[in-house]
Structure 1
Amino acid sequence: MADFSPPDNNNRADQRGVEKSGKVADFRYRPPSQSKTPSAKRSLGDARNGQKPNSTSTKPSFQAARGKPAHRRQAYAALDLGTNNCRLLIARPSGENFTVIDAFSRVVRLGEGLAMSGRLSDEAMERTLGALKVCAEKLRRRNVHLARSVATEACRRASNGPAFIEQVRKETGIVLDIITAEEEARLAVLGCHILLEGGEGQAVIFDIGGGSTELILIEPGGKIPRIIDWQSVPWGVVSLTDTVGRCTGTREERLERYAEMRRVVAGSFAPFAKRIAKHANQGEEIRLLGTSGTVTTLASLHLELPHYDRREVDGLIVPSQAMRDISTRLSGMSLEERGELPCIGPDRADLVVAGCAILDSILDIWPAERLGVADRGIREGILRSLMAADAEGERHRMEMRGLEIRNAK
């Protein structure tokens, strides 16, 4: 895992009593009525821009610890409940990689209205419970051996977040761990760093979520990157949209609102921007990798895809200026115009502009010429953690068993 010890003042101090969660949780799925536990992709180059594939990343690897204990073919699961989406991934170890055997994703907008009220609304919780019940059925049907389910910014901030977590446990059997922004950043890096463009320069990985954005400065080299510095700000596509407002009205009004979004985000990024300025100006080629619905959506528009295709987007490297140009174009469009674009549609039409404002602000403070795009993150980071920790535990048990046998002799 990453060496993660950022300064205490990098994180917000308003986390309402949430305990730090640096552990690899051993959360096995339990149906509410039971008490027992149920037993490659395309190259990283953008051919349209004449870029060569990155040979170090053309074959992504989610490495688990070595060793082949008897249960390694069993299923592991990672569930990420964010401010906007509910996502589940179920996989089995496969050598040094893993093979996905089931997945689920649904826009639930759990944090809708949270910025104004400080609470999760009844409607949002109902939508989310519906999605989590689907996840519970998948976990049950796949007989998952070990799972971790996490909740992020919406549940961290909401005054009724803990009560909702308990309701989820009672109705679905899923035990959600409300993780800190620190753990969220660490898992995102662990899940997507393999897609970082090769090079010697400093690198930033970012995750634009629904309720927050994490920015992480990592040290180049090494099997798992070492995190040098990081910051989480309370602006994601939902929270920023709810606070500043939808980009409606005339074109001039929409552009003014977009500029206000940029101003708000830039103010929150300022402390991190000041700390990393020396790294951005060292004369080396800096690198940037983003994991979020914003960057995958903009990458789809850049490729002019008729519909979203993860195989085309995950691992793509695009010119940063192309992403800025798309952001500028979207910020001036009406809601209806954005909704008619492929890969956006009505579900993302009102939120994508906030994501563009956040991305533009990131490029202001870390002006990399190219942007890596990752359609992977927290869930993959959780799976890697679970598989590695489980394999390590199995090795320890085998060593202890061998010691007992030798002592018996």
Structure 2
Amino acid sequence: MDHTPPWAGRPGRTHLSSYNRSYDDELFAALDLGTNNCRLMVAAQTAGGFRVVDSYSRMVKLGEGLHHTGMLGEPAMERTLDALRACADRVGRRQLRDIRAVATEACRRAGNGSKFLERVRAETGFNINIISGREEACLAVESCANLIHNPRFGVPRNRALLFDIGGGSTEIAWVRVDPFRQTQELIGYLSLPIGVITLSEQFGPKSSYDLGCYAEMVAHTKQALHDFENVHRIGPEIRRKQTRFIGTSGTVTTLASLVLGLPRYVRAAVDGSQLPSVSARRAVRMLHELGPEGVEAHPCIGPDRSTFVLPGCAIFEAIHDMWPIEDIIVADRGLRDGMVLRMIRKATPAPRRYQRPPVLGPIPFQQSIQATGS
């Protein structure tokens, strides 16, 4: 069995700097290498969960061209290695209690995904594990646990439907909720090989602005959801108003920022907000009206993300067409948050039974804005 740690140290460099920490500090690092982005979080354990000490995110488009070739391209791998070197430098400045590094759909699907990660280990020191779609869904649920149980969103529900729209895949998690015990259990998941990069490449980068082609994107995605609905019968639970709907992705956070009318993206305003579906649909129409240049110029989007916004909206609309819940709880969090919470739980003595899940320290949920729009 391979016992190589998630970060063995940047080759040729001292592993730890002169960073001083108090005895009580407990630092954890989580690295998420996705199809579109490379993200690192370093967090300190707190009494209520954790606070972010350092955070890094770069769009690397590792999965660029993967839909057509089945392989990771050399320019994409070089971009990604450059970002991972920056992550290694940041990790090297900290003394960590634990670290976890994972890769998702691009490396799962690419014929050279495992070979690339061997190269990553040799050049950066990161030992990155490819996780399954189920594990990805579980981590997303873990990161959103306190939203699932938060009484701010109304009476308790016994089900939650969570979606995470990524670059190369979309994860759907169907969750059983016990409001009394404040626990949640994954009872079904779907990992669709449809993400913002793959959909954009399949239909063409500019095609999402054509309403006819956009409708095809929605229909294509929706068709892939039918079997999951037939197995789990989510629709009846929705009609009985027993389901909370949680979106954790750049797509849904962008829609929330548009509805809120933010002059620039503010995570504290978006994460934990409640987005009425009618307002979200209206924001999608607004993006169509803005056109490519308007979307690129929008301060909450920018040129790097503009190509992928409407493909993400098509995935969102397909999900909402299938499961038309009135309000979406917006989560600007993901795998890194879930990994940090797991590491903290592993490092901490078992809590008392029925203890509420920890609250993420830096986010003032009680004061988050209701995304009602106009």
| 8 Å contact from structure 2 (residues 133, 171) kept in 1 | yes
Q: 2:240 aligns with which of 283, 286, 300?
A: 283
d(CA) in 2 for partners of 1:72 and 1:214?
Answer: 37
Matched, 1:267 2:223: yes
Cα distance in 2 between the residues matched to 1:281 and 1:226: 18
Amino acid at match of 1:270: H
1:258 to 190, 214, 227: 214
Deviations 1:177-221 (A, max 9, x none): 100000000001001121233433332011111111111111122
Rounded Cα–Cα distance in structure 2 between residues aligned with 1:140 and 1:32: 8
Residue 308 in structure 1 maps to residue 260 in structure 2? no
Q: Does 1:230 align with 2:189?
A: yes
Shift of 1:286: 2.9
Provide the C-alpha distance between the structure 2 equivalents of 1:295 and 1:278, rounded to a whole number of angstroms: 21
Give the match for residue 294 of structure 1.
Answer: 251
Does residue 370 in structure 1 map to residue 308 in structure 2?
no
SS at match of 2:304: helix
TM-aligned CA deviation for residue 338 of structure 1: 1.2
Query: Contact conserved, 2:71 with 2:111, CA < 8 A, in 1?
Result: yes
User: What is the correspondence of 1:89-238 to structure 2 with a 5 Å cutoff?
Assistant: 89-196=41-148, 197-201=153-157, 202-220=159-177, 221=179, 222-238=181-197
> CA–CA distance in 2 between the matches of 1:109 and 1:187?
22
Deviation digits for residues 55-98 of structure 1, max 9, x if unmatched? xxxxxxxxxxxxxxx96523110010100011111011111311
TM-score, with structure 2 as normaliser: 0.84
- Matching residue of 1:27: 5
Q: Does 1:242 align with 2:242?
A: no
Q: CA deviation at 1:129?
A: 0.6
CA distance in 2, matches of 1:32, 1:286: 46
C-alpha separation in 2, matches of 1:198 and 1:165: 44
Q: How far 1:31 sits from its partner (Å)?
A: 1.7
Contact (CA 8 Å) 1:204, 1:287: kept in 2 or not? yes
Deviation at 1:258, TM superposition (A): 0.5
C-alpha displacement at 1:365, in angstroms? 1.7
Q: Distance in 2 between matches of 1:131 and 1:35?
A: 17
Q: Which moved more, 1:269-278 or 1:202-211?
A: 269-278
Q: 1:281 to 1:102 in 2, by over 3 A?
A: closer
- CA 270–29 in structure 1, closer or farther in 2 if over 3 Å, else same: same
SS in 1 for 2:26: coil
C-alpha distance in structure 2 between counterparts of 1:108 and 1:80, whole Å = 12
Provide the residue aligned with 1:58 in structure 2.
none
Measure, in 1, the Cα distance between the counterparts of 2:27 and 2:324: 41
Matched, 1:76 2:10: no
What is the RMSD computed on CA atoms of the aligned residues?
A: 2.2
Q: More deviation in 272-281 or 358-367?
A: 272-281
Structure 2 counterpart SS, 1:385: helix
Partners of 1:385 and 1:355 in 2: CA distance: 28
Q: Deviations over 1:383-403 (max 9, x none)?
A: 01111112249xxxxxxxxxx
1:321 aligned to 2:278? yes
Answer whether contact 2:36 2:197 (CA < 8 A) is retained: yes
- Percent identical among aligned pairs is 42
In the alignment, structure 2 segments of 5+ residues that lack a partner are 351-374
Matched-pair contact (CA < 8 Å) for 2:248–2:330: yes
Instruction: Tell me the secondary structure at the aligned position of residue 265 of structure 2.
Output: coil
Normalised to the residue count of structure 1, the TM-score between the two structures is: 0.77
Q: Shift of the alpha carbon at 1:276?
A: 2.8
What amino acid is the match of 1:82? Answer: G
Count residues in correspondence: 336
Q: Offset at 1:37?
A: 7.2
Aligned CA distance change for structure 1 residues 332 and 113 (closer, same or farther; 3 Å): farther
Show structure 1 runs of 4+ deviating over 6 A: 34-37
In the TM superposition, what whole-angstrom CA distance separates every residue of 1:3-28 from its partner, at most 9, and x where no partner exists? xxxxxxxxxxxxxxxxxxxxxx9834
CA distance in structure 1 between the aligned counterparts of 2:5 and 2:338, rounded to whole angstroms: 16
Deviations 1:307-348 (A, max 9, x none): 111011110101111111111332354311211222011111
Name structure 1 gaps, 5 residues minimum: 1-24, 40-69, 394-409
Q: Secondary structure, in 3 states, of the residue corresponding to 1:31? A: coil
Moved more, 361-370 or 148-157: 361-370
